[in-house]
Amino acid sequence: MIQYPKGTIRPSQTPRPTKRMERTNHSGRGMFLENLLNQTNQVYLQKQLAVIHKKPTPIQIVNVDYPKRSATVIKEAYFRQPSTTDYNGVYNGAYIDFEAKETKNKTSFPLANIHQHQLEHMDNCVKQGGIVFFIIYFSSLQEYFLVEASYIIDYIKNNGDKSSIPLSYIKDNGYPIFLSIQGNLDYLPIVDELLLK
């Protein structure tokens, strides 16, 4: 069943799952970071700094229940094609494309979180001159990093037998991102640095 949100939820209002819920329900995994980025991107749009949106996942609806118009429920759907990345848009005339990933690991980022079709899409965007990156949230450490896609792609190519990327590699090749006083994840200053490269 797919339900669409009726409004924006602030990350501070998003309930954190309990230990018991985490073992049995993985449907909300990664939603904290996405809610935070959606809120941040909304602020960027309101301030006319950037136009960056969450990409909708292309689905084919097969079965819908219409008990009444205000309570329509999608009963069955499937993915038409694999999704590429989570976000894209434009900032200062540059194409921006990035993936948001969240992990509970304290020492590494699991590569199982990244799919081959996402890497291929990101590599193609890099070749076209886009600003392409990952925003990775280590929830156990409460740390956020922006890592250019090229570093992740290179790591995977050169260390294909590894199941994860060490946190030390991410710290050495990425940029820490800090929450603003307003509670936004202000990543555009780092994108400014990438544009100067």
Q: Which residues are annotated as a binding site for Mg(2+)?
A: 84, 86, 99, 118
Half-sphere exposure of 184 (CA within 13 A, CB side): 13
β-bridge partners, 42: none
Alpha-carbon distance of 58 to 49, in angstroms, equals 28
Which H or E element spans position 124? helix 116-127
Look up tokens 């544009």; give the residue.
Answer: 195
Both tokens of residue 42?
């909304």
> Which residue positions form the known binding site?
84, 86, 99, 118
3-state secondary structure at position 93:
coil
